[in-house]
Amino acid sequence: MVYRGPYKVRVEEKDVPAIEHPNDAVVRVTRAAICGSDLHLYHGMMPDTRVGMTFGHEFVGVVEEVGSSVRNLARGDRVMVPFNIFCGTCWYCARGLYSNCHNVNPNATAVGGIYGYSHTCGGYDGGQAEYVRVPFADVGPAVIPGWMDDEDAVLLTDALATGYFGAQLGDIVEGDVVVVFGAGPVGLYAAKSAWLMGAGRVIVIDHLEYRLAKARTFAHAETYNFSEYDDIVVHLKKITGYLGADVAIDAAGAEADGNFVQHVTSAKLKLQGGSPVALNWAIDSVRKGGTISVMGAYGPMFSAVKFGDALNKGLTLRMNQCPVKRQWPRLFEHIRNGYLKPSDIVTHRIPLEHIAEGYHMFSAKLDGCIKPLIVAGS
Amino acid sequence: MTYTSERPPLPETSEQLRARIPGWGADLDPKDRPSVPKLQWQEDRTGAHWEFPERQPEKWPRERSIEHEFLTPVFGTSCPPAGFSGMLRKLSYRKYSEGRAAHWLLLLAADRVDAWESHIRSLLTLRPDNPITQTGVLSEFSRHGVSSRFGKKRADVKHQMLDPVIVAGPWVLVGGLVFAAIRRMLRRGGQ
Ligand SMILES: [Zn+2]
Ligand SMILES: [Zn+2]
């Protein structure tokens, strides 16, 4: 798949990626996913998204070729690849901040390397393709355990790990009231993870009924459709005894809907780095002294965030891209114990040839779409 | 009650939640959460066997942020800058740090130019850009475009009416201008 400009993608024959560094591998993709943050690229909101680029930072596959210094992987291994590209040894990697690696993204210091996520994130082609170059093959990928199927594994490369991480950033303690903005894959996983961390009440906010239904069944959450309320913030205050939530998680990010002006200035006219509607609701609806966790994707441009309210309320704001690999051992345990079943949220499986329809369907939220997987090589 | 020291009561106790929700409280202790503490020394280096990685060969002058001391040892090689958009991109990287709005605005402008350049270039190939297949709008028919939207209390319905205008508007406008220019030329030729 290649990007052709805002709202346009097509399938094109490209050269099979080559080994460009001794620690590279080339992986033949078996499953990829379209992520909510891909819409940011698709809508042309992420600076330096070049025509001809292949998207896709969520993928699993089989190792096809390895570079001369690769020791931990061999041809034929079934691997899952975290969306972060990272070196393992820089100041940040040494301390577990894999998403902030300093050795993989010459284009920016404020963000790490991400597969298929514009030149702002390093200019790497992504996995919505038949083959993909995987740098630092000894560091990033892991062999998929025999008991795990590809569809669970592909969700561990970003969505589940990110949702779980978002709940962690909320510093949840037993009995906390947690509100999650956005019932997409990441929001659903964050809501589910909040229970693992001992939340006393989990509330999910969205405007798509089918996603809220999933939040009730999959994540056992209490749900509200913001489009039914005059002012969702006041409603949240009312149902929390006028205190507000202890923790608010922004799992919507810059594509957030709900405010016409914000939508036009950011998503359409690209005057902002994204619509901060969800983030501002989080700031408004959390209690004083509460914590905001942000894992929705935002671009590098400025957004109109209500910083004064965050200050005056004494909030703790925590955010990052998820260091995916750090989450894996614990998430493997939760899956084995039956606490999490990642692929339960998959709604569509789309052949790579039909990816343009897949993008439109996901972007326009048609057909009850929650998580579309891309099936390559069919 | 917010106006006293008691916190509002929860609908369910921890015991009830534990019984209802699989895995409730499995990570109750923050020490069981993988990224706690935030900066924790990673003994295993997740398999890296270098202090500083070997450097990937630079096949063309690779643009980089001036906030980096040097070109990072590994980088992506997709889509080298080319054309007028490439000049804008190189200028942005050469001149402005990531802290400057000009850096990002120039890059965004270059993206728009790139899209137009590529579109025009595609008209000279055997495979011109196709606004029907590439935008995936056909899924409006195959994926319940109407029933997915109406009667569903969706907040985006009100602006989705406007979206096609904003997205297709510039194309229609340019098409109209070209049409008018050609017609004028033909008229002049006819006189
Ligand atoms: Zn993602
Ligand atoms: Zn690193």
Task: Give per-residue pLDDT as tens, B156-165.
Answer: 777 666 667 7
CB contact under 8 A, B48 and A88: yes
Q: B121 and chain A: CB distance < 8 Å anywhere?
A: no
Buried b / exposed e over B37-76, threshold 16 CB at 10 Å, is eeeeebeebbbbebeebeebeeeeebbbbeeeeeebbbbb
- A198 vs B contacts (CB less than 8 Å): 14, 24-25, 27-28
How far does residue A121's CA lie from ligand 2's centre (Å)?
Answer: 14
| Option in A8, A49, A71 nearest B111 (CB) | A49
Give burial (CB, 10 Å; 0-12/13-18/19+) of B163.
middle
pLDDT at A367: 92
Please indicate whether residue A1 or residue A267 has the higher confidence score (pLDDT).
A1
CA distances from B103 to A6, A37, A64, A93 (A): 20, 22, 38, 27
Q: Which residues surround ligand 2, an ion (CB under 5 A)?
A: A 86-87, 90, 93, 101, 103
| Longest CA pairwise span in chain A (Å) | 62
ipTM over 0.95: no
How large is the average pLDDT for residues A104-116?
Answer: 97
Which range among A52-56, A231-235, B139-143 shows the weakest confidence by mean pLDDT?
Answer: B139-143
Q: B53 and chain A: CB distance < 8 Å anywhere?
A: yes
Distance, CA of A159 to CA of A189 (rounded, Å): 8
A171 to chain B nearest CA, in Å?
8
pLDDT at A378: 54
CB contact under 8 A, A242 and B2: yes
| Option in B47, B108, B160 nearest A138 (CB) | B47
Does the pLDDT of residue A273 top 60, yes or no?
Answer: no
How far does residue A135's CA lie from ligand 2's centre (Å)?
Answer: 12
* Identity of the residue numbered A378: S
Best residue in A80, A109, A269, A327 to probe B by mutation, most B CBs within 10 Å? A109
Q: Among the bound ligands, name the one nearest to the CA of residue A100.
A: 2
Q: Please tell me which residue of chain B has the smallest CA distance to A257.
A: B156
pTM: 0.92
- The pLDDT tens digits for A203-241 are 999 999 999 999 999 999 999 999 999 999 999 999 999
Does the pLDDT of residue B169 top 80, yes or no?
Answer: no
Distance, CA of A349 to CA of A359 (rounded, Å): 12
- pLDDT tier at A257 (50, 70, 90 boundaries)? low
Question: Residues 6 or more apart from A173 whose CB is under 8 A from it?
Answer: A198, A246
pLDDT at A264: 52
